[in-house]
Amino acid sequence: MLLAVGSVALDSVETPFGARQDALGGSATYFAAAASLLAKVSVVGVVGDDFDLEELDFLRRRGVSLEGLSRVPGRTFRWKGRYGYDLNTAQTLDTQLNVFERFEPRLDARARTADRVFLGNIDPELQLRVLEQVERPKLVAADTMNYWISSKREKLLELLPRVDVLMVNDAEARQLAGESNVMKAAAAIEKMGARAVCIKRGEYGALLVSGSEAFFAPAFPLTGVVDPTGAGDSFAGGFLGLIDRVGGRDLPALRQAVVMGCTIASFTVESFSLDRLRDLSLPEVRARFESFRKLTEHEALHASIA
Amino acid sequence: MLLAVGSVALDSVETPFGARQDALGGSATYFAAAASLLAKVSVVGVVGDDFDLEELDFLRRRGVSLEGLSRVPGRTFRWKGRYGYDLNTAQTLDTQLNVFERFEPRLDARARTADRVFLGNIDPELQLRVLEQVERPKLVAADTMNYWISSKREKLLELLPRVDVLMVNDAEARQLAGESNVMKAAAAIEKMGARAVCIKRGEYGALLVSGSEAFFAPAFPLTGVVDPTGAGDSFAGGFLGLIDRVGGRDLPALRQAVVMGCTIASFTVESFSLDRLRDLSLPEVRARFESFRKLTEHEALHASIA
């Protein structure tokens, strides 16, 4: 079973292709929508009393356990952002932690036995507190961001040795490592204790570095990117969902997991909010995964060329 | 035989890792240095009387014909540029056409029988004039840039139907097509007549689009990028060098060609000027080509996942 801790949020997003107000969002939501196509998922998080829990019915129908999601008095976490034609970078206009401000993750007996854990992009102190409650996780993946890297660096460095795969974007990897070259940054983060580093590069795909091994998956070339919100979290969901499904954590499994992450993220960005993920089916995912293979496949050089 | 027309230049380059004054450069030079590892190359171009032809001895030793390179009174083409820590984009500080201003490409009998042609990034009028002199080319690749796209659009549109592979970067593809989505831009350029479009994405690799087929190769993840100058032209050299060597132009050949282009370009950027290309050997290239395969290889999904 896969445990995800992170935000369940209401997002207001503007892109060149439209806008949405208070639409379903949040790292745990995107993660669970993606991962539940492949594995059993439990969500730990909090929403306010302005949140309509029926919005999550589609997750329940996919077997996601929301036992760990509490609903408390107050307003739900809200994020407001804008993307220009360069859909790679979001401009954050407003972040309201609201009920998340006093969030105290408490895992029930079942959540404590999780096999694999995704620590969504929240305060590293909370990430640590969740991890302490999980008895014997086989694999831990964590996301973080510039804000925590600068304001909670100590706690983040305490977390890293307990993380198998740190998932960050180019800029975050550079900032955390203090190193502009992405490969050197990944090596530096491994020295800080993370077993592997997965660098998300938006429309350019994702790179996994583990020791002397590197693996690269392109983003699926799409003609209709509408809203990149949630791409990173649904990438993580596809990644951990596949690992949980196949049970391994060797390099071939990690490689497949990166491609699965890119595959599901490529659906996410085709619509606003979780619209495309709501009724996404595994056969659709499988077909695009196969196209991914074709996208990078090429033959070895003929022996005469040497 | 492979014919390349383009600049043989003296570059002054500044990167965060050092600077060079009047170092050997130019699109035809980088192209020839790369392609000559795999095929016979003839260069058409012009230098001034300030140019020391012995600088090109390493190309002659690799069998490059410089019969078509004329040396005339005046100063050699000069480019001056700077790269910041984001090594993806050059800031052009100065361009002096010098002897290139009155360049009249004239092909000798041998050059006219070339099998494959690379039209380096020069005035589309000159590109057309070269092409008119080649009797029956099997494959034509062309590069261009923002300056020609805006100032010589008509001539460029006249050229495109005679081009098999247009090689441009993201921004150039977007500008030429008037379309921000890269896949849509490639489709629009195909409609303008190019048989295939190869989009170079700097540190993010290269994408080849031809009809409904897409192929993606990452840039080789390097820990020591020193100077990106010439990456695009040596990519073109590796690309056409491989096509000329294997003789095909079907999709499997084009895919291998993209990877070969990325492979040789990854050596180019490890040093200033043509320093790394000077003594690069085919076995070194072959070994890195194989690492490239490993970089993107992954297994198909198990049949149980559906």
Nearest CA in chain A to B226: A181
Taking an 8 Å cut-off on Cβ atoms, the answer to whether A296 and B85 are in contact is: no
Measured between CB atoms, which of B205, B283, B299 is closest to A306? B283
Query: Would you state the pLDDT for residue B302?
Result: 87
Q: Cα–Cα distances in Å, from A113 out to A59, A121, A133, B64?
A: 21, 22, 9, 67
The region of weakest confidence among A117-121, B71-75, B271-275, B301-305 is: B301-305
Query: Would you state the pLDDT for residue A118?
Result: 98
For residue A180, which residues of chain B lie inside 8 Å, CB to CB? 85
Q: How far apart are CA A155 and CA B217, in angstroms?
A: 38
Q: Cα–Cα distances in Å, from B131 out to A58, B2, B66, B136?
A: 60, 13, 18, 9
Contact (CB, 8 A) for B12 and B255: no
For residue A207, which residues of chain B lie inside 8 Å, CB to CB? 218, 221
For residue A181, which residues of chain B lie inside 8 Å, CB to CB? 222-225
For residue A214, which residues of chain B lie inside 8 Å, CB to CB? 221, 295
Taking an 8 Å cut-off on Cβ atoms, the answer to whether A214 and B295 are in contact is: yes
Residue A306 reports pLDDT greater than 80: no
Query: Would you state the pLDDT for residue A65?
Result: 97
Measured between CB atoms, which of B201, B246, B302 is closest to A302? B246
Residue B206 reports pLDDT greater than 90: yes
Residue B306 reports pLDDT greater than 90: no
What percent of chain B is predicted at pLDDT more than 90?
85
Query: Would you state the pLDDT for residue A51?
Result: 98
The region of weakest confidence among A162-166, B91-95, B231-235, B294-298 is: B294-298
Sequence-distant (6+) residues with CB within 8 A of A147 are none
Query: Would you state the pLDDT for residue A302?
Result: 87
Nearest CA in chain A to B180: A85
User: pLDDT band at residue A87, thresholds of 50, 70 and 90?
Assistant: confident
Test mutation, A36, A182, A210, A296, chain B, max B CBs within 10 A: A296
Query: Would you state the pLDDT for residue B202?
Result: 86
What percent of chain A is predicted at pLDDT more than 70?
100
In tens, the pLDDT along A111-170 reads 999 999 999 999 999 999 999 999 999 999 999 999 999 999 999 999 999 999 999 999
Sequence-distant (6+) residues with CB within 8 A of A16 are A83, A84, A85
In tens, the pLDDT along B26-37 reads 999 999 999 999
**CA B152-B4-B55 angle, 5° bins:** 115
Residue range B95-117: mean pLDDT, rounded: 95
The radius of gyration computed from the CA coordinates of chain B, to the nearest angstrom, equals: 18
Taking an 8 Å cut-off on Cβ atoms, the answer to whether A296 and B184 are in contact is: no
Q: How far apart are CA A283 and CA A296, in angstroms?
A: 21
Amino acid at A165: V
Query: Would you state the pLDDT for residue A200?
Result: 94
Test mutation, A301, A302, A304, chain B, max B CBs within 10 A: A301
For residue A218, which residues of chain B lie inside 8 Å, CB to CB? 205, 207, 216, 218, 296
Residue B75 reports pLDDT greater than 90: yes
**CA A8-A153-A207 angle, 5° bins:** 70
Measured between CB atoms, which of A180, A246, A282 is closest to B302? A246
User: pLDDT band at residue B113, thresholds of 50, 70 and 90?
Assistant: very high
CB atoms within 10 A of CB B293: 15
Closest CA to A240 of A94, A139, A130, A166: A139
Closest CA to B285 of B245, B247, B251, B254: B245
How does strand A196-200 pair with strand A206-210?
antiparallel
ipTM for this prediction: 0.81
Taking an 8 Å cut-off on Cβ atoms, the answer to whether B221 and A182 are in contact is: yes
The b-or-e profile of A3-38 (16+ CB within 10 A means b, else e) is bbbbbbbbbbbbbeeeebeebbbbbbbbbbbbbbbb
- The structure tokens 């590796």 sit at B238
In tens, the pLDDT along A248-300 reads 888 899 999 999 999 999 999 999 999 999 999 999 999 999 998 889 988 88
